[in-house]
Amino acid sequence: MRVNNQVMLVTGGTGFFGQRFVRQMLAMGQPRKVIVLSRDELKQWEMRQQLNDDRLRFFLGDIRDVDRLRRAFQEVDVVVHAAALKQVPACEYNPFEAVKTNILGAQNIIEAAIDCGVKCVLALSSDKAVNPVNLYGATKLVHEKLFVDGNAYSGQRQTKFSVVRYGNVVGSRGSVVPLFLERRKTGSIPITDERMTRFWITIEQGITFVSHCLGVMQGGEIFVPKVPSMRIVDLAKALAPECKVELIGIRPGEKLHEVLLHADESRRTLECDEYFVIAPESTVLRLQGWDHGRPLPAGFIYSSDTNQRWLTLEQMSEMVKPFLQATAE
């Protein structure tokens, strides 16, 4: 594992993904030190009480502050960048704030990593970055391009940058599962459109995939996992079969279906057994070490409505069971 005997820093380390990823790295990996960087002192304090590990450090800071990042990145080997503003309505209402965190924050991460000699940076993205229709997706599109092209900025220095792009995480804060569980109490579940589909990934699958990508990244890749799709109406049935469905119409900035890989990207994408690897668009950058990847057919699109893998109602019910149990307690 790439983190063995290394110093790792996780931005947004007190978030939904960050906390669980840090736990997994401490439990399964052999890092010399894991640094949690976030703005939330209360969550850091709570995390410190829950995790009693001498390898764990906490660093208050904001990715908008490049000087603070340079201080935090001293002697760090690996950075996993999970900090972001990701709530679509909040980003639409506060566009400048979304740009400052998701775009300018990405630039700060890149500059601080290069200046401090960080070996590799893996940034987390979203399916919303593909053909974006809302500001959050647009900031994530720029975020991806910054990290891929950050490899050209590093020049002869050792810092490598790659990106992981995946879909909706089951039960993440602000996602549809907590919303449906809350609305379940009213006897009615709001659905924007009966045709709507989404890619679906558990937090455990996301952590496993990020860990794998850390081990194989060479710099410049965008990694896309092969994950199943699900219909939002089926999710509502799995979470609240006794509730009626209320159709409310698609909201501003919302897609009917999500795309993880579009046709223009597929021309420079290699397929592996469990994921896709998108090569850099820049002629300055070249992928190395992916001879085992297979080219995709012309015009290939990886969309949630045409996906070959689908979750059944029984599988969805099993995936959301922990959240139903937590609600019942």
Model pLDDT for residues 269-282, shown as the tens digit of each residue: 999 999 999 999 87
Sites in the chain below the pLDDT cut of 50: none
pLDDT computed for residue 260 by the predictor = 98
Active-site residue set? 128
Q: Enumerate domains of the chain plus CATH numbers.
A: 7-328 (3.40.50.720)
Give residue 321's identity as a one-letter amino acid code. K
Give me the pLDDT at residue 327, please. Answer: 72
pLDDT of residue 7: 97
Distance CA 21, CA 270 (A): 27
Q: Residue 210: enclosing H or E segment and its boundaries?
A: helix 203-216
Q: What is the pLDDT of residue 221?
A: 96
Do the Cβ atoms of 211 and 225 come closer than 8 Å? no
Pairing relationship of beta strands 78-81 and 222-225 according to DSSP bridges: unpaired
CB 177 within 8 A of CB 238: no
Are 161 and 123 a contacting pair, CB within 8 Å? yes
* The CA-based dihedral angle spanning residues 249, 253, 259, 263, taken in that order and rounded to the nearest 10 degrees: 120
Specify the residue for token string 């030190």.
33
Q: Which amino acid is at 318?
A: E
pLDDT for the residue numbered 284:
62
pLDDT of residue 329: 62
Q: Please report the pLDDT score of residue 179 as a whole number.
A: 86
- In sequence order, which ranges of 30-129 are alpha helices (DSSP H)? 41-50, 66-72, 88-93, 95-98, 105-116
pLDDT at 157: 85
What residues contact residue 257 under an 8 Å CB cut-off, 6+ apart? 196, 197, 198, 303, 304, 305
- Residue 323 is predicted with a pLDDT of 82
End-to-end CA distance of the chain: 38
For residue 112, the SS3 value is: helix
What is the pLDDT at residue 283? 65
Closest by Cα among 139, 209, 140, 203 to 173: 203
- DSSP β-ladder status, 188-191 and 244-247: parallel
